Amino acid sequence: MDPLQQFLIKPIIPLKMGGFDLSFTNSSLAMVMATALILWLCNYGSSRQLIIPSRLQSLAELTYEFINTVILETIGPEGRAYLPFILSIFLFVFFGNIVGMAPYSFTFTSHIIVTLALALCVYAVVLFIGLRKFGIGFFKRFIPSGVPWPIIPIIVPVEIISFFFRPLSLAVRLFANMLAGHILLKIFAGFCLMLGIFGVFPVAFNTVFIGFEIFVAGLQAYIFTILSCVYLQDALHSH
């Protein structure tokens, strides 16, 4: 079976309006599932404040503390005002990756349009915060201090390109890792089926690889989140 077949977007509820395709697809369903899991975890973790927390409440609290620690270490106390936004980004990417690991599910984070939309959302917030705090002076960051005037015409375009290239690099990093991981999983699974009874040993390897892919799913959510914090810190402390 074609390993790229799993990334095809298929309509579940076809809907076209005014020349636009507004169909509810397998990608939409995966996003709804990820959002439902996030809401369930957050609601359960905040509504049942037990003295001896349950496992799920502990998970919700540990997730909150983990993101809070990441924000404090990368942005500082000033960044706590943006904890809800950063936590939402982390949970959406993480559960998007995890939902895609379920059999017959869909990994929407393996599509560049989704990861780019998330990255642009982060950058819209970064630009808004930077402009609100520094005004037009925010763009002085494109002229590094101490740079000799003769080479400023060269440095400024490089700095501008570097700044606006960040959303693309942020999006491609997540998209490429999830895409490659799922392609490899599909290829190894295909080998197991082709080998028949002799595919028992590759199955053991594939099981280990699935565990590794789950680890990568969490790691990529962490990387996306910490880079978002770094860019936010850059906007808050631009000089």
Each residue's pLDDT tens digit, 161-208: 888 888 888 899 999 988 888 888 777 777 666 666 555 666 677 777
Q: Where are the domains of the chain?
A: 5-236
CA distance 95 to 101: 10
- Give the tens place of pLDDT for each residue, 53-73: 677 778 888 898 999 999 999
DSSP alpha helix (H) spans, the chain: 26-47, 55-74, 83-99, 112-134, 152-195, 200-236
Dihedral sign computed on CA atoms, order 193, 194, 195, 197: positive
Between strands 20-21 and 16-17, the pairing is: antiparallel
Amino acid, res. 217: A
**Nearest alpha carbon to residue 125 among 21, 25, 235, 30:** 235
Amino acid, res. 149: W
- State the pLDDT at residue 218: 92
Q: Give Cα separations from 227 to 56, 119, 128, 216, 232 (angstroms).
A: 27, 10, 17, 16, 8
How would residue 228 be classed by pLDDT, with cut points 50, 70 and 90?
A: very high
Q: Give Cα separations from 73 to 38, 69, 87, 166 (angstroms).
A: 24, 6, 15, 21
**Rounded mean pLDDT, 30-58:** 81
- State the pLDDT at residue 66: 93
- State the pLDDT at residue 109: 92
- pLDDT mean across residues, the chain: 84
CA distance 84 to 232: 14
Residue 48 has pLDDT above 70, yes or no: no
- State the pLDDT at residue 118: 94
Residue 239 has pLDDT above 70, yes or no: no
How would residue 131 be classed by pLDDT, with cut points 50, 70 and 90?
A: confident
Question: Structure pTM?
Answer: 0.86
- State the pLDDT at residue 117: 94
- The DSSP 8-state label assigned to residue 145 in this structure reads T
**SS3 for 25?**
strand
